[in-house]
């Protein structure tokens, strides 16, 4: 995804919940966390965001996702091409009414709100990506051929320093 659009109604609802006590602040925090995970660049699709979805999902609108925030609140997202829209945030009943009113929605008119450009995060180093895959590789003799002496020195010096640090802590 390239951009995330957050409706002004969603932002005002988050703001009002922040001022509505502990439960409201917790709901506002959960909604903000979902928006942050979508805009961080680590998520490629709105369905990969950090949060729990509703039990049966949402089938009335194509590429729509309902997030269950607890206390009867839901956050609705729509993906249209490379854009993710967050058009509604409210109680379960309010979301049901919004979905019923927009069930034949094909194109989404953004209206007032804020658009956040998403910049994809690239892996920091090839070595870190390779180490994540190392657990799944069992007997591949060519696995370490691409490593240079500099890479190996860096890894082993880090291991030695870590061992020294642990022995000093004991």
**pLDDT per residue as tens digits for the range 50-96:** 556 565 556 778 888 888 888 899 999 888 888 888 999 999 999 99
Ramachandran category for residue 112: left, alpha or beta (phi over 0 → left; psi -120 to 50 → alpha): beta
Residue 165: per-residue pLDDT: 67
3-state secondary structure 106-129: CCCCCCCEEEEECCCCCCCCHHHH
Q: Sort strands 64-70 and 113-117 into parallel, antiparallel or unpaired.
A: unpaired
Q: pTM of the predicted model, to two decimals?
A: 0.62
């Amino acid at each position: 995804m390239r951009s995330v659009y957050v409706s002004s109604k969603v932002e005002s609802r988050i703001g009002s919940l922040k001022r509505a006590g502990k439960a409201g602040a917790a709901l506002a925090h959960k909604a903000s966390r979902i928006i942050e995970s979508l805009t961080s660049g680590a998520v490629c699709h709105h369905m990969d965001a950090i949060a729990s979805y509703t039990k049966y999902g949402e089938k009335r609108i194509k590429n729509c996702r309902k997030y269950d925030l607890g206390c009867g609140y839901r956050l609705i997202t729509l993906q249209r091409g490379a854009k993710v829209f967050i058009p509604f945030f409210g109680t379960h009943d309010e979301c049901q009414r919004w979905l019923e009113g927009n069930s034949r929605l094909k194109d989404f008119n953004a209206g007032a709100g804020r658009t956040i450009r998403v910049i994809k995060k690239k892996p920091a180093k090839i070595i870190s990506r390779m180490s994540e895959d190392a657990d799944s590789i069992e007997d591949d003799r060519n696995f370490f051929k691409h490593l240079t002496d500099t890479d190996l020195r860096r890894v082993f010096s880090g291991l030695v320093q870590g061992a020294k640090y642990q022995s000093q802590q004991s």
